[in-house]
Structure 1
Amino acid sequence: MTRKLSKGAVALVTALTISVPAGLLVPQPAAAYVFNDVRIEGTQRVDPATVLSYANIARGQDVSAGELNDALQRLQNSGLFETVEVDPQGGVLVIRVSEYPTINQISFEGNRRIKDDQLAQVVQSQSRRVYEPSQALTDASNIAQAYATEGRLAARVDPKIIRRSDNRVDLVFEIREGDLTEIERISFSGNRAYSDRRLRQVLQTKQAGILRTLIRRDTFAPERIPLDESLLTDFYRSRGYADFKVQGIASEITRERDAFYITFNIQEGPRYRFARIDTVSEIPGVDASAFAAQNRVGRGDYYNPAAIDNTIRRMETVAIQQGLNFVNIEPRVTRNPSNQTLDLVFALTRGPRVFVERIDIEGNTTTRDEVIRRQFTTVEGDPFNPREIRNAAERIRALGYFSDAQVDSRPGTSEEQVVVDVNVEEQPTGSLSFGASYGVNSGVGLNASLTESNFLGRGQTVGLSIATAKDDRQASFNFVEPYFLGRDLRFRFNTWYNETENLNSDYDTRSIGIAPSIEFPVSANGRLELRYRLSEEKLDNVDEGSSQILMDEAEGGARLSSGFGYTYRWDTRITGLDPLTSYKLEFSQDFAGAGGDVKSVTTTALAGIESNAWREEVTLRAEIEAGAVHAYGDYETWILDRFRGGNKIRGFEPNGIGPRDLAAPNEDGLGGNYYWAARAEAQFPLGLPEEYGITGGLFADVGSIWGLDNTVGTDGNVVDDDMYVRAAVGASIFWTTPIGPLRFNFSKALRKEDYDEEQSFDLTISTRF
């Protein structure tokens, strides 16, 4: 039985026969009507039953205008249809739908900075799937966010569709990348002890400069701001400012959205020194004296959390050695604002009885579990030590195998157990590089190298390199196992083949050999390396105008050397106790004579210091080193055994100082059995913006090379092999570039011999202390 529509119902029909977008409300008259049938039109992929389920209109029952409107909204909001029409026709309800088209292909236009394959990983829309406008808008937002991560906050992305046949569309994302949103200025308020320039050096974020196309840290990245705050806090607190805090960070973007201004509002507070320092035990039967002996915090020293942490680690080691579990070392600090001092008490307290139930590792698809697990000194069943877990997390991050590594603990199956969760995200660890090099003496050269620092996920390093220049060729292979036999034993194996042709000399050389070694810790700051070396070296093609000494040495042909050696290294940077001053010592000896032709003992020693204690913007370095090679039996050293200068004394060419046969036409440098050198330098800012990475330096070197086993040169001339002191001064320009740290040296010899060969300019790769 059909029902005659009133004027209001007629108005409703008129409204419902129009295509209605989602969210548009339809007039709702009070009249109701009954449908005996529902007809679905326009479906292609969607089953009509699905349309009926969304509409939810019952046959033979009264249906109000509001219920029709609700059905319309349900169909429109289903995300299945581009348009929906609800058309009451007497006793029949006609539902006409137009399905969303299928995506034929997805393309990107206007993108240059980010490649298509990278953007394709950001979008969720897919070819041969139904086009959804809401998903396309979300994809456009994700693309814009990808550009924002690259420092282009002004990027705009518009999704567009191109209609094709068979209800298909091409989805095109039109991209306007915009300019880099650079950091125009970083400033500080509240800083008195340190200048803005000095504090900017601490931050990971940098200001934009002339190298803005190369320096990516000058683009604004919100995720770097918390890191900068942490770095700033660590900087101040490690220098005595125990109350330092960052009160706020203001970042303002320009109207054009192409630059940011960042201001750090800081509160330095007073600078504290340690006054009374004590160690007490609150555990019955535990003597505090053995723990107090491990204290590395000095009375009168500026407050430094690293020094406190270092002392706590040493005390915890004593607890482990004494078999004491669940011992907490609690640092109790009392401030004395009146005289800006701190009283520090290390209290030994009993901690809760908690054990490590297990260590779960996730996210390592390539790296083996054992590589990560061996960074823990704690194993399942050991007492839980939160500090050791944090230290293990730092060691895992320091491996360089992971872009992210999180180590957390959670309750275990009982109150006395915890589970340590390790979640890592792997990153590429191999590199293949081709490049060119330049040296003042060697000229232009080509090189190629292949390196993998996590070989087969075992944590091993494998490297192969080949280099060739005008007068020399080098090839080498090295392998490093950092955890040999499951212990902290670093095993290395090196093999090489080198050739030189008249490189800074009038003869050719060839060297081929292998050198396995093993290195292990002997103290907190000390490591010992034991090695074996087997090599064959040859001196040939000596120029006719060269010294008779060299000709005699070449006549012996290639010499086989087989011997053992060791090197002891002591470096305070291992524990990092003092952030401003570090020391290093090296002592090395090689004993050749375990077979082969060479019988000699070579000894070298070096001591160095680097400090920023005078002024933190100025780095002072000083080194002194010496060496001696001693032949025994009837063996005499030859040119390839002796010291030939190198860069030990700047201002002179390699092999440019030392004993020299002046009677020979070539006046050959012969090297020496002994050498010593002392070097001092200062590195300081030049007033240029810090983000340019350019600093200056001054240096002074002094030293000598002397001593020969055979001093009879050309025509019976006796070569003068006495020790003559050389000295040079100079200036340097340090430039941190994307291809590596470069150093330009300009030098002048102050004390020299007439026959020395000077070098007033040198370009080298800058090496750190």
Structure 2
Amino acid sequence: MDRRRNFGGKSGLVRSGLAPAAIAISLAFTALPAPSFAQDYVFSTVRIEGNSLIEDATILKFAGIARGTSMSAAELNDAYQRIADSGLFEAVELVPSGGTLVIRVVENPTINVINFEGNRRIEDEELATVIKSQSRRVFSAAQAEADAAAIAQAYADQGRLSARVEPRIIKRDGNRVDLAFEIREGRVTEIERLSFTGNQAYSDWRLRRVLETKQAGIFRRLVQRDSFIGDRTEFDKQLLKDFYNSRGYVDFQVLSVASEYSRERDAFFLTFNVREGQQFRFGKITTVSEYEGVDPAEYAEVMKIRDGASYSPLAIDTTITKMEAVALKNGLDFLRVEPRVTRNEREGTLDVAFVLTKGPRVFVERIDIEGNATTLDQVVRRQFRTVEGDPFNPREIRDAAERIRALGFFANSEVNPTQGTGADQVIVDVNVEEKPTGSLTFGASYSVANGVGFNIGLSEANFLGRGQYVSVNLNVGADTQNSGITFIEPSVLDRDLKFRFNTYYNTTDKDNAAYNTTRIGVQPSFEFPLSDFTRMELRYKLASDELSEVGGDTPANSSPILVGEEGKEVSSAIGYTVSYDTRVGGMDPTRGTLLRFSQDFAGLGGDVEQLTTTALASHQRKIMREDVTVRAEIEGGVVHRFNGDTRILDRYTGNGKIRGFEPNGIGPRDLNAVNEDALGGNYFAVARLEAEFPLGLPTEYGISGGVFADVGSVWGLDNTTGAGGAAVDDSLNLRAVIGFSVFWESVLGPLRFNFSHALKKEDYDRTQNFDLTVSTQF
């Protein structure tokens, strides 16, 4: 039967034999004649006993004793301490005997195997990377205790603060031991309640949405962000500070974070005590030059800050970046922009003077990159707008650090400038820690219109360490099958020029219609910035679109318009999209605008000569202390065929454009055909209004509500001769829908329940008063 032995702490030290060794050396000194304590010892011989694995020379090196050299009692005790501190021995004795010093040791055993017992949440392989004890190495009680603490910390990082780890040893023959870590994982320590004190401008509900930490909800066993992790609290404090600062609360502070353990010791109550301070707005904005010969007027032209807008550090940083770009264009490498802020407490404004000054002449000596085993240096290096030999700009280095973090390739990244070889030289040290960037995903989706669907995807965000994105996806539904391959090179020629290549193969089988479709295509494109928030995409598309089996076995039941469109067409088109988007990264975090305009011209060969134009204008704003988000959108499109009539595959059907109707539920329809086919239209236009707001439910449920109203239409056909020769009504007939939505951020994915009612519709329209969409990956 195995004999297990516990160790650790003071009692472990005594059992290990170190304390008896100290007693032995003390007794040895006591046995000497009293006058010897006042004399130095001189040993002509050092004899070592008890060692079998550790060489004599190694022990003598630890002791630091040279033959024939006089030693005091204190020095002899230091020698003993050095041998004991080596961690190689279970017991040590130093026994002076005349001119001979006898060193008796009992060697620590070697570790035979290391086992982990009781662990289910963390695999053995992962725990093996946490500890430092290794098989076939000398056993150390102190190291085993440190390893147990490291394992407990790994569980604490997962929110299991009650995890307990006990190291045990099992003696084997040949002075060997098995080291076993007995683990009691305990339960996840959850955040039962997140609360705030001192907040007046924003509600608890709004602030909880800012934090990375979440409250435990009804799916607490599946959600990880409701686990208490101490390090995450510091991150949450910074998130709160950034949130308030971006809204003009420049004096905001998190005074304290109180964490109270529940009586059952399985949950925390976390309270953030904050001081909001006064909200400031921008007052007088000026540009001043202290750089001889520099006219501030040119720099003032790039400033977009509005008087009276909420003060925002992002607006300041953006303005400085633009002004420094003007300086670089003018060849002023060392011009620096210093914002000088004057507070006006009574008016609640901050006057900002952007002062143009001459900075120190410091250059970037080199950029050192470490820690990237897979990612190529150039992927990290191209995030810098600075190269070796350029003037050193601290702001640019900070921006580069943010761009490196935003890549998503690294678990941790640090960018630090250090002193170079000269006073005017700086070395930029980049240290990164890579993380996995590939994934194999399986997913499911459901919608009222299309039923259940399944998908599988394989993606790599850092292909071959080049920063390229590659994905292969297959989605199969009841009546649809979509597959595609995507390749993205984000920085062609190491510039902000994105190359994308898509290829797809999609089919439908009587999907809400009396026909089948097969669509195959490839589309390469380039995307690049035109300004801070404006981007352009140029693309080419080669596609084959086939309409088949119209009406199935009885084509006479279908509209002759669709029957005449049956067949395959090849199109070759060039197109562009210009978009302006301030929803992310805009100067005002409470509002954002999206403007998008696209055109595609088919006619560079192929069977189709056609122009397709679409436009979208959208604006959203957070109101009522940012608890409510309102959105307004206008969208429209036109398709015009130059060499014949458009086909149903090219026309607009209203799918996804106007809520409250089935797919193919609005627009021109051949009512004289047996199938009453929806024909689509050459034009569509829609205006949407929507508001999203809390429902008063606990934040941890992730449930909010919304109301919406859509007004629009699909109309216009080239050929209006339907079944029986009757004319199809393709007029602009407006539809109007109002509805209520329930949004649920569930563990299955984002769910949206739409309940709608059509206020204005045509008799032949097909409404859908309830809709549910869900998409999840597992």
- State the TM-score, normalizing by the size of structure 2: 0.90
Supply the distance in 2 between the matched residues of 1:157 and 1:719 (Cα, whole angstroms): 77
Q: Aligned letter for 1:566?
A: Y
Q: Aligned letter for 1:547?
A: S
Is 2:148 the counterpart of 1:136?
no
Q: Secondary structure at the match of 1:646?
A: coil
Instruction: Provide closer, same or farther for how the CA distance between residues 753 and 138 of structure 1 changes in structure 2, counting only shifts above 3 A.
Output: same
Q: Map Cα deviations across residues 491-542 of structure 1 (whole Å, 9 max, x no partner).
A: 1111111111000101111111111111111222111111111111111111
Supply the distance in 1 between the matched residues of 2:477 and 2:274 (Cα, whole angstroms): 53
Deviation at 1:89, TM superposition (A): 9.1
Find 1:616's aligned residue among 626, 647, 653: 626
Deviation at 1:93, TM superposition (A): 7.6
Find 2:696's aligned residue among 669, 687, 702: 687
Instruction: Provide closer, same or farther for how the CA distance between residues 105 and 722 of structure 1 changes in structure 2, counting only shifts above 3 A.
Output: same
Instruction: Provide closer, same or farther for how the CA distance between residues 417 and 64 of structure 1 changes in structure 2, counting only shifts above 3 A.
Output: closer
Is 2:650 the counterpart of 1:641?
yes
Is 2:601 the counterpart of 1:591?
yes
Supply the distance in 2 between the matched residues of 1:243 and 1:434 (Cα, whole angstroms): 47
Unpaired segments ≥5 residues, structure 2: 1-16
Is 2:602 the counterpart of 1:602?
no
Supply the distance in 2 between the matched residues of 1:37 and 1:282 (Cα, whole angstroms): 80
Deviation at 1:477, TM superposition (A): 1.0
Map of 2:363 onto structure 1? 355
Deviation at 1:575, TM superposition (A): 4.4
Find 1:488's aligned residue among 489, 496, 511: 496
Q: Is the 8 A contact 2:687 2:710 kept in 1?
A: yes
Supply the distance in 2 between the matched residues of 1:36 and 1:323 (Cα, whole angstroms): 78
Is 2:487 the counterpart of 1:479?
yes
Deviation at 1:689, TM superposition (A): 2.2
Map of 2:675 onto structure 1? 666
Q: Map Cα deviations across residues 466-498 of structure 1 (whole Å, 9 max, x no partner).
A: 121111111111111122244322111111111
Q: Map Cα deviations across residues 195-242 of structure 1 (whole Å, 9 max, x no partner).
A: 222222212222222222222222222222222222111211222222
Is 2:237 the counterpart of 1:225?
no
Map of 1:330 onto structure 2? 338
Matches within 5 A, 1:213-612: 213-254=221-262, 257-543=265-551, 544=554, 545-554=557-566, 557-573=567-583, 575-612=585-622
- State the TM-score, normalizing by the size of structure 1: 0.91
Q: Map Cα deviations across residues 614-640 of structure 1 (whole Å, 9 max, x no partner).
A: 44011111111011111113x111111
Q: Secondary structure at the match of 2:751?
A: strand
Q: Is the 8 A contact 1:21 1:76 kept in 2?
A: no
Q: Aligned letter for 2:630?
A: L
Instruction: Provide closer, same or farther for how the CA distance between residues 652 and 350 of structure 1 changes in structure 2, counting only shifts above 3 A.
Output: same
Map of 2:52 onto structure 1? 44
Instruction: Provide closer, same or farther for how the CA distance between residues 638 and 75 of structure 1 changes in structure 2, counting only shifts above 3 A.
Output: closer
Q: Aligned letter for 1:365?
A: A
Map of 1:3 onto structure 2? none
Q: Is the 8 A contact 1:20 1:85 kept in 2?
A: no
Is 2:688 the counterpart of 1:676?
no
Q: Map Cα deviations across residues 322-356 of structure 1 (whole Å, 9 max, x no partner).
A: 22221121111111222322222111112112222
Map of 2:727 onto structure 1? 718
Supply the distance in 2 between the matched residues of 1:416 and 1:91 (Cα, whole angstroms): 63
Q: Map Cα deviations across residues 387-423 of structure 1 (whole Å, 9 max, x no partner).
A: 1111111111111111122112112222222122222
Q: Map Cα deviations across residues 303-338 of structure 1 (whole Å, 9 max, x no partner).
A: 222222222222222222222221121111111222
Q: Secondary structure at the match of 1:144?
A: helix
Q: Secondary structure at the match of 1:606?
A: strand
Q: Is the 8 A contact 1:581 1:613 kept in 2?
A: no
Q: Aligned letter for 2:599?
A: Q
Is 2:636 the counterpart of 1:626?
yes
Q: Aligned letter for 1:473?
A: Q
Map of 1:4 onto structure 2? none
Supply the distance in 1 between the matched residues of 2:64 and 2:532 (Cα, whole angstroms): 76
Instruction: Provide closer, same or farther for how the CA distance between residues 50 and 288 of structure 1 changes in structure 2, counting only shifts above 3 A.
Output: closer
Supply the distance in 2 between the matched residues of 1:240 and 1:183 (Cα, whole angstroms): 30
Q: Aligned letter for 1:669?
A: A
Supply the distance in 2 between the matched residues of 1:764 and 1:256 (Cα, whole angstroms): 39
Supply the distance in 2 between the matched residues of 1:36 and 1:348 (Cα, whole angstroms): 78
Unpaired segments ≥5 residues, structure 1: 1-17
Supply the distance in 2 between the matched residues of 1:734 and 1:581 (Cα, whole angstroms): 21
Q: Aligned letter for 2:683?
A: Y
Map of 1:700 onto structure 2? 709
Q: Secondary structure at the match of 1:217?
A: coil
Deviation at 1:586, TM superposition (A): 0.7
Q: Map Cα deviations across residues 554-587 of structure 1 (whole Å, 9 max, x no partner).
A: 1xx2111111111111112464211111001111
Q: Is the 8 A contact 1:525 1:574 kept in 2?
A: no
What's the C-alpha RMSD, in Å, of the aligned pairs? Answer: 2.7
Instruction: Provide closer, same or farther for how the CA distance between residues 302 and 75 of structure 1 changes in structure 2, counting only shifts above 3 A.
Output: closer
Instruction: Provide closer, same or farther for how the CA distance between residues 373 and 170 of structure 1 changes in structure 2, counting only shifts above 3 A.
Output: same
Map of 1:15 onto structure 2? none
Q: Secondary structure at the match of 2:225?
A: helix
Supply the distance in 2 between the matched residues of 1:713 and 1:756 (Cα, whole angstroms): 17
Q: Aligned letter for 2:758?
A: A
Q: Map Cα deviations across residues 696-734 of structure 1 (whole Å, 9 max, x no partner).
A: 111111110011111111111111111111111222222
Instruction: Provide closer, same or farther for how the CA distance between residues 441 and 75 of structure 1 changes in structure 2, counting only shifts above 3 A.
Output: same
Map of 1:753 onto structure 2? 762
Supply the distance in 2 between the matched residues of 1:407 and 1:204 (Cα, whole angstroms): 24
Q: Is the 8 A contact 2:201 2:625 kept in 1?
A: no
Q: Aligned letter for 2:673?
A: A
Q: Sequence identity of aligned pairs in percent?
A: 60
Deviation at 1:38, TM superposition (A): 7.1
Supply the distance in 2 between the matched residues of 1:125 and 1:455 (Cα, whole angstroms): 35
Instruction: Provide closer, same or farther for how the CA distance between residues 746 and 90 of structure 1 changes in structure 2, counting only shifts above 3 A.
Output: same
Q: Map Cα deviations across residues 593-647 of structure 1 (whole Å, 9 max, x no partner).
A: 22111121111110001111444011111111011111113x1111111101111
Supply the distance in 1 between the matched residues of 2:382 and 2:294 (Cα, whole angstroms): 31
Instruction: Provide closer, same or farther for how the CA distance between residues 592 and 96 of structure 1 changes in structure 2, counting only shifts above 3 A.
Output: same
Q: Is the 8 A contact 2:445 2:775 kept in 1?
A: no
Q: Aligned letter for 1:743?
A: R
Q: Aligned letter for 2:700?
A: E
Q: Map Cα deviations across residues 356-387 of structure 1 (whole Å, 9 max, x no partner).
A: 22222222222222222222222222222111
Larger deviation, residues 450-459 vs 171-180: 450-459
Deviation at 1:436, TM superposition (A): 2.5
Q: Aligned letter for 2:420?
A: G
Instruction: Provide closer, same or farther for how the CA distance between residues 765 and 327 of structure 1 changes in structure 2, counting only shifts above 3 A.
Output: farther
Q: Is the 8 A contact 1:22 1:73 kept in 2?
A: no
Supply the distance in 2 between the matched residues of 1:228 and 1:391 (Cα, whole angstroms): 22
Instruction: Provide closer, same or farther for how the CA distance between residues 61 and 209 of structure 1 changes in structure 2, counting only shifts above 3 A.
Output: same
Map of 2:188 onto structure 1? 180
Q: Aligned letter for 2:773?
A: T
Supply the distance in 2 between the matched residues of 1:80 and 1:632 (Cα, whole angstroms): 88
Supply the distance in 1 between the matched residues of 2:234 and 2:638 (Cα, whole angstroms): 52
Q: Is the 8 A contact 1:84 1:96 kept in 2?
A: yes
Q: Aligned letter for 2:653?
A: R
Instruction: Provide closer, same or farther for how the CA distance between residues 521 and 96 of structure 1 changes in structure 2, counting only shifts above 3 A.
Output: closer
Supply the distance in 2 between the matched residues of 1:527 and 1:88 (Cα, whole angstroms): 84
Larger deviation, residues 257-266 vs 655-664: 257-266
Larger deviation, residues 71-80 vs 458-467: 71-80
